[in-house]
Structure 1
Amino acid sequence: MSVGGPLIDGDWLQARLGDPDLVILEIDERPLIYRVGHIPGAHCLDWRTELQDPVTRDLPDADAMAGLCARVGITAASTVVLYGDKSNWYACFGFWLLRHYGIADLRLLDGGRQAWLAEGRPLSVDEPEVPAGRETVLPRAGTGVRAMLADVQAAIGGAVQLLDVRTAAEYRGEVLTEPGYPQEGAQRPGHIPTAINVPWDVAVDQDGRVLPEARLRERLREHGVDLNRPAITYCRIGERSAHTWFVLSELLGLRARNYDGSWTEWGSMVGMPVAVGNGERPAAAADPADAGVGTGGAGAVDPPSN
């Protein structure tokens, strides 16, 4: 991918270290690795406690986001750079969240933490301080990048593409979640009807950097993505799908939204339609008890007709 605009490389960032209008945010799956060494001047955000509401399954409200912006010093003049581990899964979620709240000048470090380390660039163990008296921004939600449950229901079989960016095994319903993520499991496996499987990593090279644009478009088309239609992305909890949303919306200019409720919401709600395998429901057992489910709710199946 040609690096520029919202996607920047290590040279771009290293040349600007120390700029008072630059705010660098590291967001990792395991926030403790920040303390081992991070980009000089970077703040650490904990995605579990700062990028979601600590009580309800929802995003932080505007007051919480205002407090976050004040903590790291985001002003109207700030350029905010995000990066992290896991090829920027959580950094992309943070990018999407800040875009949702109207923060304008956002950049993502291509390849994330891994790329910075591989290039032997400078690290620090010091936590930055925000100068007192900075007039930080007051975030306001409503920029059209978030998809809610009703939006997804309306998209089934419609003009908006549903892109399931999980692994093929998750999509087909062979597993509830990948090994190591038991807390992200839903009540039922499978995928949203009419969604196509476009694993998030089709957009990146082996080093985690985004593919060159021509190859990126080619790979997305190979997986059935129509680059002329709007899209809603989802995964398990919204972080991998934020990566795909970033690629589609910020780099390719598609009208895309991220469904952060994702499969942990959809796959746990009573009565929601679920597809498995290549999209077909499994054959129903003659007796619902034989299928291992009750006689009602999302897991119920109809007996075969005579």
Structure 2
Amino acid sequence: MKSKILFSIIFIVLACWSMIFMNEKPVIKYFPTDDAASFLSHSTNLYLSDKMMKDDYKLKWEVNSNLNKQAYLRQDVSLLFVDGNLKGITGSWKENEKKIALDVELQQAGTSVFQAISLHHAETHYPKDQIRSIQKMSTDKLYVVDSPHVKILDFKDSKTKKEKEWEETINNTVHQQLQFEWRKWLTEKEINLDEYLLVPLTDLYVFEKKALPGLSQEETSIIISQLWEGLYKSFIIPFSEKKISNEIKVPIILFDKENNHLIVLFENEKKKVEHLYQVYSTNN
């Protein structure tokens, strides 16, 4: 009898601890922009390390950011895609910090294009319960050509004729595969593409300096910041807690041409298409 009671107590304690742990897990949340905060630097970098194996190579994936002052919460998250498929997610959060540095090394093989997009986020607190936030994006792309009997070739911006040919070949192959999948998603969700501007998640960074059609840069920044909040909850956290084994394609964001809402289409771990619907709210 005593053992049963003890077991019940232990179970309740563990259950409560689990609930507290999950509830305390930081999320990326949008607050009005903090004009007093700014990123001194923020970057994403993909490159090959010096550690070459016989039949494969080592990919380095680095994410760094530095705020101009300490923030109540600093958080960076980065997504890596290989040939349009999700390869991994890395991230870190810190309290009362300025800097975050992430360094991941992956063993890879074959000819591929690697694309990473990162969000650098800070949440700042002020007296009278005033909460502000600031966000920046960074990105990087790396082409790696790994073919038999040829020295491995890697580049970011094609310069030579050989590099340009490889870039075109790789881009065409990946683009065709993604377009095929995205068309299936649109058909399944009965979405008329003519009503939307389609932007792959890997291209979202362009809106750092480019406004959505019909909107100001400030309005665009607010919408993108709110979008990342939804992406973090619906896409990033679920895949961060599971092993990425299936070929999960790059999510697409559909911006309504009437500037009313956006839709994110993406696959879950079971390869089922899900959608995130977000109505625009541009009051800062």
The structure in which a higher percent of residues are strand is: 2
| TM-score, normalised by the number of residues in structure 1 | 0.24
